[in-house]
Amino acid sequence: MAKPPTAFDADPRRLLALGFSILMLVGALMAYLFGSGNSAGFAAAGLGRVGIVMFALFLAWPSLRRPSQWLPAGAAMIGVVALIVIAANPRLAIAAIPAAGLLITVSAFARAFRRRDG
């Protein structure tokens, strides 16, 4: 009898994102615990941020592949790009969050007007 497919069997890239996330978070922990100096702190912070973003991508993968009908086109990808920008430089959150909101709003208006014309 065939085994029903699980969420991990559906797309190997999702499992790869989880693997990279775990590796980066473990690397950040090792750099934090066993490293010394500014370079260890820099490595721990960088690996930790990218690991968190990769884990968020792992969690959001099913909705990124097939977004909801009410979600504007490209909103999921705009959110992922904003998350990556914030992970790279948290001070950019002040600009990235409103910019992502503006892009999603414009996308929603464009979708609404496009449906009325068709």
Q: Are 58 and 24 in contact (CB under 8 A)?
A: no
Pair 51, 73 in one domain: no
Q: Are 87 and 52 in contact (CB under 8 A)?
A: yes
Cβ neighbours of residue 83 under 8 Å, at least 6 residues apart? Answer: 53, 56
Pair 85, 106 in one domain: yes
Task: Give the per-residue pLDDT at 60.
Answer: 83
Pair 56, 30 in one domain: yes
How high does pLDDT run on average in the chain? 82
Whole domain around residue 111: which residue ranges? 67-118
pTM for this predicted structure: 0.57
The percentage of residues in the chain with a pLDDT greater than 70, rounded to a whole number, is 81
The answer to whether residue 97 sits within a structural domain is yes
The answer to whether residue 102 sits within a structural domain is yes
Cβ neighbours of residue 104 under 8 Å, at least 6 residues apart? Answer: 72, 75, 78, 79
Pair 22, 48 in one domain: yes
Pair 56, 99 in one domain: no
Pair 85, 110 in one domain: yes
**pLDDT for 15-70, tens place per residue?**
898 999 999 999 999 999 998 888 888 999 999 999 998 998 888 887 766 666 66
Pair 90, 112 in one domain: yes
E strands, the chain, are none
Pair 56, 78 in one domain: no
**pLDDT for 76-112, tens place per residue?**
788 888 888 888 888 888 999 999 999 888 888 887 7
CA dist., res. 23 & res. 73, Å (int)? 32
CA dist., res. 104 & res. 73, Å (int)? 8
The answer to whether residue 4 sits within a structural domain is no
The answer to whether residue 93 sits within a structural domain is yes
Total count of domains within the chain: 2
